[in-house]
Structure 1
Amino acid sequence: MPGHALVVSHTNLQRDPRVRREVEWLTAEGWSVDTVGLGPAALDGVREHFEFRAEKPWLRFMGTKAFVHVFLPQKLKFTVLFGHRIAREMYRKLADDSYDLVLINDIVLLPIIQHLPRTAARVHLDLHEYFPPHLGKHLRGWWLGTPLRKWTRRFISDARIRSRSTVARGIAELYRDEFGVPEPQLIKNCPPREDLSPSPVDSDTIDLVYHGAAAWERGLRCLIDAMGKLPERFRLHLMLVASHQGIDEVEAAIAPLGDRARLVPPVAVDQIASRINEFDLEVMFYPPTTENLRFALPNKLFEAIQARLGVVIGESPMMADVVHTYGNGTVVSGWHTADLVAALSHVTPNDVRAYKQGSVAAAAELNAENEHKKFLALVSAFDN
């Protein structure tokens, strides 16, 4: 029978669909679940929630934080920056080997497994995306944080980790090759299956949609620029999550397009597929400037599939595998605005209808219910 599980994440679990699904899957199978995360609210069915305490006021000064990074050994540095923010009761339970499964969702918190007995192979590590050894050089003080980051990554191959998972095959291969561990299992970020049908396709209009974070590095700028060069039959709908400044920047960028581009109010995660179902094609054009963008297999791809939309992607190999398997979209050759314009200009209403039917087939397989089965197969070994 399932036992006691601890699910650890450095996110707000209420807003993290992947971690929330993990908790729901475990509780549905009879696991008694404790959680660690940001925010006070526990998910339904959780026995005990350990909320991250606020950072110590003296750590909010750049000079103090720089002192910690430069002069403290890595283990103490982790304790000062992260470890002290978690309740001692959680550490006591780890030391007593009270959990049958410890599910870690953030590599920055992976060092807490030091509190487990060395012989306790109790940990499942969900690696999510690739966690590079260096912080991005665009971040202030990136060089100060890199030593702690490298030390933290060493725990990826710790013997207390019994199994690993990630979001895309290319990322799993990176971890396998770098750390010499068994290739992590693939658990895709698929939402639950939606009972939707493709919306009708207008012979005179093709409605494009982009939903998610207003991140310029994810091809948003290229998409907006492409709209200025596409035929009049194309319209763009942007359902974005961003700061007020980010939204202002997008509004300024689309202003020259007039009524051919508009912002759509965002909705809750579980409403995305039904909300965007009225559109035709979701555009995901991610220039491969990082390993995570190169191997991107994003939530929005599967949300678009559940919405029964066609998809337009760049030469991202993980997404291209899906498109080639189901015939639910087109792959743009090249990473320039002109390439995106050329590919979209050749899409006909009949193509859109065919792509949407491809997503009908894909939606039956690429859903949370099927990922649930794979996840349970992974953690089933922990309950005996």
Structure 2
Amino acid sequence: MKQIIVSVTNDLVNDQRVHKVCTTLTQANYDVLLIGRKLKTSKNLKRDYKTYRFQLLFKKGFLFYAEYNLRLFIKLLFIAKKNNILLSNDLDTLLPNFMMSKLLQIPLVFDSHELFSELPSIRGRYSQKVWRFLENWLVPKQKYFFTVSGSIANWFYENYGVKPLVLKNFPRYKNTPFKEAQHKYILYQGSLNKGRGLLALIKAMQTIEIPLKIAGEGPYKSKIEKKIIELKLENKVLLLGNLDPEKLVLITQNATLGISLEEDLGLSYRYSLPNKLFDYIQAKTPVLATYLPEIKNVVESYKVGEIIEDHSPKNIVKGISKILENGKYYYQLNLEEASKELIWENQEKMLLSFFRNI
């Protein structure tokens, strides 16, 4: 079997896209090794493919990326062989993979989950110049390249003359029954980060009757908790933390509507297609979504929810109220159709063809 060495900078636990890619390749009889890092809070892994996680001294910032990239290069130096394929996920793992591919003359595949040099967290900082330099140097050299949305693929083509394959981050088909739970609630699932519309959503909850459940963790959690207390919404806005996937699916399936309110904080967010959007659709739950082009296109094309005009609490209330007024059954047939079409099984055919042609 040909071995594929996959690398990411996260702890592997909640990276759905990478897990699906590795599982698909494993089922196609590739020998997959996934490399990431281990945190103190990381859960144990049980996967059908091999995994390895670095225990690093530094957790974030320049020193983290420097240590990770050095450790990854050394690891690859000892394990990579002439018949291997390297799969680098995002710009923050690309340099050591590129160097090793040149050293051993082996294929390198690049999967760009986002526009890394356009992330809100680095815009206007010196680190953006560093990532932009690496992007300018490395991206035009990528022969085997895929990404998550058409807009991101077009951006790479316009800026670097390379057109990646688009492999959207759809979930696997679950054939879950359509359900409307007895107790209505709104659900947000995903990372608690800046730019997710969460503070505006919490403000909007002052005039919404049903509760909001927030499933996830992230650096914005303390600000969210503070806003909940400030507005005296402790009994209406519930923080669930990270949930096991099986439990999250049930909560999503029973929700009255799901929230995907990403803000336009730069090109990386503007062109994003978040996992949560397709998880809601797969659970047959209508969506209140942002006006950003890729997300808006999915919601309006399949008629599976409503779009906000801007991130004001007033417009969020208006969107939620419209879904509640229509009722969950209003969207049922459209959700049923979209849940059968927007699935990983359709994407993995392209993925396997892509790797067979390397």
Match of 1:84 in 2: 70
User: In angstroms, what is the RMSD of aligned CA positions?
Assistant: 3.2
Q: Distance in 1 between matches of 2:118 and 2:323?
A: 41
Match of 2:165 in 1: 185
Match of 2:267 in 1: 291
Match of 1:115 in 2: 100
Larger radius of gyration: 1
Tell me how far 1:110 sits from its aligned partner.
Answer: 1.0
Q: Distance in 2 between matches of 1:263 and 1:254?
A: 15
* Secondary structure of the structure 1 residue equivalent to 2:254: coil
Q: Distance in 2 between matches of 1:369 and 1:225?
A: 39
Q: Distance in 1 between matches of 2:69 and 2:326?
A: 56
| AA aligned opposite 1:165 | F
Unpaired segments of 5 or more residues in structure 1?
69-76
Distance 1:134 1:208, change over 3 A: closer
Distance 1:29 1:346, change over 3 A: closer
Preserved contact between residue 39 and residue 51 of structure 1 (Cα < 8 Å)? yes
Preserved contact between residue 118 and residue 267 of structure 2 (Cα < 8 Å)? no
Preserved contact between residue 53 and residue 86 of structure 1 (Cα < 8 Å)? no
1:171 aligns with 2:164: no
* Secondary structure of the structure 2 residue equivalent to 1:241: coil
Match of 1:229 in 2: 207
Counterparts in 2 of 1:156-305, with a 5 A limit?
156-158=139-141, 161-182=142-163, 184-200=164-180, 207-230=185-208, 232=209, 234-242=210-218, 245=222, 248-249=225-226, 251-253=228-230, 255=232, 257=233, 259-305=235-281
Preserved contact between residue 82 and residue 104 of structure 2 (Cα < 8 Å)? no
Tell me how far 1:180 sits from its aligned partner.
Answer: 0.7
Percent identity of the aligned residues? 20
Distance 1:262 1:358, change over 3 A: same
Preserved contact between residue 34 and residue 52 of structure 2 (Cα < 8 Å)? yes
* CA deviation profile, 1:189-231 (whole Å, cap 9, x unmatched): 22222232222377xx85321122223421011111112234x
Q: Distance in 2 between matches of 1:379 and 1:274?
A: 34
Match of 1:363 in 2: 339
Q: Distance in 1 between matches of 2:45 and 2:186?
A: 37
Unpaired segments of 5 or more residues in structure 2?
none
Tell me how far 1:39 sits from its aligned partner.
Answer: 2.8
Match of 1:149 in 2: 131
Match of 1:340 in 2: 316
Distance 1:23 1:307, change over 3 A: same
* Secondary structure of the structure 2 residue equivalent to 1:164: strand
Distance 1:200 1:121, change over 3 A: same
* Secondary structure of the structure 2 residue equivalent to 1:10: coil
| AA aligned opposite 2:8 | S
Q: Distance in 2 between matches of 1:123 and 1:241?
A: 33
1:310 aligns with 2:286: yes
1:352 aligns with 2:328: yes
Name the TM-score, length of structure 2 as normaliser.
Answer: 0.85
Distance 1:98 1:267, change over 3 A: same
| AA aligned opposite 1:5 | I
Q: Distance in 2 between matches of 1:84 and 1:163?
A: 23
Distance 1:278 1:321, change over 3 A: same
Tell me how far 1:308 sits from its aligned partner.
Answer: 0.8
Tell me how far 1:114 sits from its aligned partner.
Answer: 1.7
Query: How many residues of Structure 1 are paired with residues of Structure 2 in the alignment?
Result: 351
Tell me how far 1:168 sits from its aligned partner.
Answer: 1.4
Preserved contact between residue 108 and residue 152 of structure 1 (Cα < 8 Å)? no
* Secondary structure of the structure 2 residue equivalent to 1:340: helix
Tell me how far 1:258 sits from its aligned partner.
Answer: 5.9
Q: Distance in 1 between matches of 2:222 and 2:211?
A: 24
Q: Distance in 2 between matches of 1:136 and 1:278?
A: 34
